Amino acid sequence: DPLLTVSPSSTDRGTGPVTVRSSPAPAVELAGITKRFPGVVANDRVDLRVAEGEIHAVVGENGAGKSTLMKILYGMQTADEGQMLVGGVEVQFSSPSEAIDAGIGMVHQHFMLADQLTVLENVVLGAEPTRRGVIDYHSARRHLDELGSSYGLDLHPNDFVESLEVGERQRVEIIKVLYRGAKVLILDEPTSVLVPQEVEKLFDNLRELKARGHTIIFIDHKLEEVLAIADTITVLRQGRTVATTTSDQVTAAELAELMVGSELPKPSTEPRVADQHVTLSLRSATVPGDDGRPALEAVNLEIHRGEILGVAGVEGNGQGELIEAILGLRPFAEGELLLDGEPITNWPVRHRREAGLGYVPEDRQRRGLLLDAPLWENVVLGHQTQRPYARGPWLDRSSARAAAGTILSDFDVRAPGVDTTARALSGGNQQKLIIGREMASRPRMLIAAHPTRGIDVGAQAAVWDELREARREGMAVLLVSADLEELIGLADRLVVMLRGRIAAELDPTNTSPRLLGSHMTGASVDDQGGVG
């Protein structure tokens, strides 16, 4: 057995996992951590031991207790039971500032940056150096430059955060915690918002941090990435530690089985069911970007009934503007959009939604949910004028609550009830709620933007099943994803976007991730399997 740590049998609940200890003074040690919330035990006597100077991954399904455990370590929450040691010294943090003082910093999955401030201002915010009562920006800039140079975190101090790409924003967050003297860095889902090229840059940064003596704890769902970067891996399942192993002693399939009790799911191509009917047609579409220049230029696209059309491309090549133009969130400069042959180019968003456009947004928290509203209200979003949610001009609360209960059941959304707030759900359950909301309305056309980003293998398989079922029932699906295996496995046809144009159309059955990636970057490739 390659595992260094295994959980006891289900009949032996009185003892914790047996761990092989290799270092007398770990950077972080959590022993018997328990955290209860109403109706659920998030952490059940969890053990975690992180050696100094290692990259340690914590993996598990959404809802397995990973984020709760990290929030306890970072002082955002307090454990009900258990012991926490940092550098061999027992600690109990009541706030993040206490964790920072102890040398622990955290980079959250959803970045906590002020868009309207510069990189430098974001980094020093709350920890401003002063000289004679005035912020010493010269000293702060020098320190920032030193950090960036030392760790390969290239940033321009005067750039406004709102102008930065996602990968650059993440580097700002990392420098923020380094600026405050963190020796232990917690990264929550660090790759969930990154495209493949940015992931490799992040991993280079993490390796440099490790080489300079930092300890890194990170949560991730992408098991191949975990195996590529982590020294040690701890697996949580249903709030308990079930295994600790090393990356050279376990495979992705074995990790998946530890996480969910089954083999690693894969997207699989099914026989084509699309017919000749064109559900959505985009004709010579030119759409301006935020800077006024064309973000989409002369794009022609057709999606047939019962077809999944996959859209690949490095982030920033027009995929986002394509989605916004179809939804009505961004105007056309030229061209035409038709739904089942009917021109809808100038229709408002509400009319498009009522006509049968479903939407799974890229950012579920910012664009898909009202986090502090109950689940039944979130189920109504975008469908508030339609049955069963509306009765004439009025909202039918009773029917809305009943419909929400059905969605929770049918789509395996794990929540205490329809009055639970969306914020209380794990990322995977938030995603399943959104997909359930959209599928329940039986749209003619579904736009799915990165539908499995940041969710675990179990929730990922559920999302794939729903997309395949929608396709079988005749729904047209536009799938935008940075996961090339997902695109190849699910799509009937693939198009590649490059600089706002369709650069290639490919047959997934004759396409590899390498070939697809070459088209995405504009590299010269063999024409076999596609045309550019």
Mean pLDDT of 99-106: 93
Cα 406 from Cα 440, distance rounded (Å)? 9
Q: If pLDDT is split at 50, 70 and 90, which confidence band does 440 have? A: confident
pLDDT of residue 224: 85
- For residue 43, what pLDDT is reported? 92
Q: How far is CA 484 from the centre of its chain?
A: 15
- pLDDT tens sequence across 452-505: 876 777 778 888 988 998 899 899 999 999 888 889 999 999 999 988 999 999
| Structure tokens that stand for 141 in this block | 């800039």
Longest dimension (CA), the chain: 74
Minimum mean pLDDT range among 100-104, 144-148, 259-263, 303-307? 259-263
Contact criterion met (CB below 8 Å) for 49 and 59: no
Write out pLDDT tens, residues 226-250: 999 999 999 998 889 999 999 899 9
Q: Identify the CA nearest to 488 among candidates 197, 267, 194.
A: 267
Give SS3 for 195.
coil
Task: Summarize pLDDT for 408-424 with one digit per residue, the tens.
Answer: 998 888 888 999 999 98
Residue bearing the bigger pLDDT, 119 or 5? 119
The mean per-residue pLDDT over the stretch 352-357 comes to: 92
* Under 8 Å between Cβ of 40 and 97: no
At residue 193, the pLDDT reads 65
pLDDT of residue 222: 79
Q: How confident is the model at residue 108 (pLDDT cuts 50, 70, 90)?
A: confident
How confident is residue 269, by pLDDT bands cut at 50, 70 and 90? low
What proportion of the chain, given as a percentage, has pLDDT over 90? 43
Q: Is 424 helix (H, G, I), strand (E, B) or coil?
A: helix
pTM: 0.64
% pLDDT > 70, the chain = 90
Is a pLDDT exceeding 60 seen at residue 400?
yes
pLDDT of 53 > 90? The answer is yes
Q: Answer with the residue of higher pLDDT: 529 or 333.
A: 333
Q: Name the CA radius of gyration of the chain, rounded.
A: 24
Phi-psi region of 296 (alpha: psi -120 to 50; beta: other; left: phi over 0): beta
Query: How many CA atoms are closer than 13 Å to the CA of 317, on its beta-carbon side?
Result: 21
pLDDT at residue 531, rounded to an integer:
39
Position 262 scores a pLDDT of 60
**Average pLDDT of every residue of the chain:** 85
Name the token pair of 82.
């258990």
